[in-house]
């Protein structure tokens, strides 16, 4: 892989760097990072052996530059850094920043990628959707998928879909955490200790997720039906979820998050 530069060396940049180094497709010496005022870049370098540079020179030898600071830090980026993006491919993981704004910041970049990762990306178990300006050539598409692949799965979408992506997979981990906490509280309400209920709820969500992962051709509905025998306990529970219309609640949840993503990006 050609040299990479990271602008920002926080949680997501660290996850990408560490994920990439694990694949052996790039050596630490081919990655340069910069941070802001805090020592995140130096700490990442000490941990992994990647190079550290000042923001104005970080992009100099790189072919792909990954923007991984906070979205609100975009206006503070060094002008020398932005000028150095000419002719390069830029991958932004800044939540909610549209291609139009990124293009204004880097008008002569050969490719701009707007990516929306999610928090499990921090341990390589995320899914990242991305849109590009313009359509990438085969080589740029391959490198983009490899770089974002360090966070987990990767999927290309049209930019207008990124708000719904944010509402589903971007915010989705929080829904699952809330579901898990609710399951724990429900167990406590049935007399289990907090310790036991917490362990059961976490392991159940993880185990069900692993089952879905192990059988990608099987729909979640088929998985559900396999554990639901007529007249049994699961059926009795599911009947309540249907009566309370869990699906309608989630539809409204994702719609609200999608709407908010649109408002923030406008
Ligand atoms: N965390 C997630 O799961 C997640 C999910 C989806 C999208 N995202 C997006 O990923 C991006 C990074 O999130 P994060 O959680 O990794 O943030 P983070 O841990 O706070 O890291 C931000 C990094 O940017 C650096 N920085 C600050 N100002 C800078 C400047 N002017 N020039 C260059 N670097 C600068 C910071 O350096 P110092 O701290 O050293 O100052 C730090 O290394 C955000 O845009 C967020 O929207 C994150």
From the CB of 93, is ligand 1 less than 6 Å away?
yes
Average pLDDT, the chain: 96
**Residue 265 pLDDT class (50, 70, 90 cuts):** confident
From the CB of 92, is ligand 1 less than 6 Å away?
no
What number of other Cβ atoms are within 10 A of residue 166's Cβ? Answer: 24
What number of other Cβ atoms are within 10 A of residue 191's Cβ? Answer: 8
Residues carrying CATH 1.10.3730.10, the chain? 170-265
pLDDT, position 24: 86
How far apart are alpha carbons 239 and 120 in whole angstroms? 31
Does position 264 have pLDDT exceeding 90, yes or no?
Answer: no
pLDDT digits (tens, 9 = 90+) for 110-148: 999 999 999 999 999 999 999 999 999 999 999 999 999
Average pLDDT over residues 215-231: 97
- Please give the backbone phi and psi of residue 31, each rounded to the nearest 5 degrees, phi first: -120, 130
From the CB of 171, is ligand 1 less than 6 Å away?
no
Pairing of strands 51-52, 111-116: unpaired
Of 3.40.50.300, 3.40.50.800, 3.30.70.3270, 3.40.50.720, the CATH number of 4-162 is 3.40.50.720
CA of residue 10 to ligand 1 center, whole Å: 5
pLDDT, position 32: 98
Average pLDDT over residues 158-176: 97
From the CB of 40, is ligand 1 less than 6 Å away?
yes
From the CB of 17, is ligand 1 less than 6 Å away?
no
Of 3.40.640.10, 2.30.110.10, 1.10.3730.10, 3.20.20.10, the CATH number of 170-265 is 1.10.3730.10
Does position 158 have pLDDT exceeding 80, yes or no?
Answer: yes
Residue whose Cα lies nearest atom 40 of ligand 1: it is 38
């Amino acid at each position: 892989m050609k040299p990479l530069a990271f602008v920002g060396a926080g949680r997501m940049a660290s996850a990408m760097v560490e994920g990439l180094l694990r694949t052996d497709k790039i050596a630490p010496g081919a990655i340069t990072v910069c941070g802001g005022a805090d020592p995140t870049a130096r700490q990442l370098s000490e941990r992994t052996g990647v190079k550290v540079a000042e923001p104005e020179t970080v992009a100099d030898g790189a072919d792909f530059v990954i923007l991984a600071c906070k979205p609100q830090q975009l206006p503070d980026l060094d002008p020398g850094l932005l000028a150095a993006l000419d002719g390069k491919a830029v991958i932004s993981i800044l939540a909610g920043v549209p291609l139009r704004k990124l293009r204004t910041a880097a008008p002569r970049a050969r490719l701009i990628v707007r990516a929306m990762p999610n928090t499990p990306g921090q341990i390589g178990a995320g899914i990242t959707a991305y849109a590009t300006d313009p359509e990438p050539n085969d080589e740029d598409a391959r490198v983009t998928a490899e770089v974002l692949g360090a966070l987990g799965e990767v999927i290309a979408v049209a930019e207008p879909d990124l708000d719904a992506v944010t509402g589903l997979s971007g915010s989705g981990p929080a829904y699952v955490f809330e579901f898990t906490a609710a399951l724990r509280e429900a167990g406590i309400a049935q007399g289990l200790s907090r310790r036991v209920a917490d362990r059961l709820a976490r392991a159940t969500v993880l185990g069900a997720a692993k089952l879905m992962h192990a059988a990608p051709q099987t729909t979640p509905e088929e998985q559900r039906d396999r554990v639901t025998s007529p007249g049994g306990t699961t059926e009795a529970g599911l009947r309540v979820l249907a009566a309370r219309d869990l699906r309608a609640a989630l539809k409204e949840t994702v719609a609200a998050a999608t709407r908010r993503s649109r408002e923030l990006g406008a």
